[in-house]
């Protein structure tokens, strides 16, 4: 089983729609969680950290369910510029160790 | 310091040749990581350094791969006797891990795209 699993998509949604991605992780002792965004042929960039109580950053909401070992990302009022691959990322051991990436979920926003 | 720099951006090599990539991290960062990414996959961890010490190597890092960070600043990743399966994007990242063992965020470089023909 992969340490971090995501639905690869692609998700193709109209502008203005709400879209949600889930991600599951295998190590119940995982310490910290993130969503990264990666544009085509570019490096990954941190979108947001995911906190136990859930957190919001503008149109983006991230949630963590430790009992079920999944993380979610909700994008409201999607924009064309949101088209990208969204990578679920986990620190499986401690915050000082390496981060592990999921395979990413491709999102395409259509006009 | 404008971030993590990687050189070259692109490399095309013939199968069997050796290649070396360089990564210059953010100067105050003590951790340096190498990842490899193939099409349609997320980045896969290869190895990381704390200053000049290589703390962990993935099983993905075969004997043909070697990474160094001799003075705790820049790092090199060498692939010997390249194979077509080595074709990928090689990403470097750096971060600062404080005395409290907290990791204060990763910054990735733009990557080196390797094509083995």
- Tens-digit pLDDT profile for residues A45-103: 999 999 888 899 999 999 999 999 999 999 999 999 999 999 999 987 765 678 899 99
pLDDT classification of B101: cutoffs 50, 70, 90: low
What's the DSSP call for residue A82?
Answer: G
Provide the pLDDT for residue A2.
84
Look at strands B112-116 and B10-13 and give their pairing.
parallel
Task: Give me the mean pLDDT over the A97-110 stretch.
Answer: 93
Weakest mean pLDDT among A66-70, A73-77, B3-7, B98-102: B98-102
- For A48, name the nearest residue in chain B, comparing CA atoms only: B105
Nearest CA in chain B to A38: B42
What is the pLDDT at residue A108?
Answer: 97
Which residues of chain B lie closer than 8 angstroms to A50, CB-CB? none
Q: How far is B9 from chain A (nearest CA, A)?
A: 11
Q: Is B70 in a helix, a strand, or coil?
A: coil
Is residue B97 very low, low, confident or very high in pLDDT (cuts 50, 70, 90)? confident
Query: From the CA of B108, how many Å to the nearest CA of chain A?
Result: 6
**B1 has pLDDT over 60:** no
Q: Quick one: which of A14, A12, A34 has its CA closest to A23?
A: A34
**Locus of tokens 């369910």:** A65
CA pseudo-torsion sign A94, A96, A97, A102: positive
- Which chain A residue's Cα is nearest to B98? A96
Each residue's pLDDT tens digit, B28-71 = 888 999 999 999 999 999 999 999 999 999 988 889 999 999 98
Q: What is the mean pLDDT of residues A32-36?
A: 92
Which pLDDT score, from 0 to 100, does residue A93 have?
Answer: 72
- What does the pLDDT look like over B15-27, one tens digit per residue? 999 999 999 999 9
Annotate A2-47 with three-state secondary structure: CCEEECCCCEEEECCCCEEEEEEECCCCCCEEEEEEECCCCCCEEE
């Amino acid at each position: 089983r992969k340490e971090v699993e995501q639905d690869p998509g692609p998700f193709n949604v109209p502008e203005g729609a709400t879209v949600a991605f889930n991600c599951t992780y295998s190590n119940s002792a995982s310490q910290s969680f993130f969503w990264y965004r990666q544009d085509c042929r570019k490096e990954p960039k941190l979108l947001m950290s995911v906190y136990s109580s859930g957190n919001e950053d503008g149109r983006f909401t991230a949630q963590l369910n430790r009992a079920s070992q999944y993380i979610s990302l909700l994008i409201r009022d999607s924009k064309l510029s949101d088209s990208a691959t969204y990578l679920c990322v986990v620190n499986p051991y401690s915050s000082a160790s390496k981060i592990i990436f999921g395979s990413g979920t491709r999102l395409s926003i259509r006009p | 310091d404008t971030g993590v720099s990687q050189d070259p951006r692109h490399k095309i090599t013939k199968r069997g040749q050796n290649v070396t990539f360089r990564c210059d991290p953010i100067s105050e960062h003590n951790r340096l990581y190498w990842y490899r990414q193939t099409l349609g996959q997320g980045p896969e961890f290869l190895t990381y350094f704390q200053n000049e010490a290589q703390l962990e190597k993935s099983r993905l890092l075969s004997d043909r791969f070697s990474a160094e960070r001799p003075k705790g600043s820049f790092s090199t990743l060498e692939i010997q006797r390249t194979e077509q399966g080595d074709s990928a994007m090689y990403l470097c990242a750096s971060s600062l891990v404080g005395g409290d063992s907290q990791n204060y965020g990763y910054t990735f470089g733009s990557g080196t795209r390797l094509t083995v023909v």
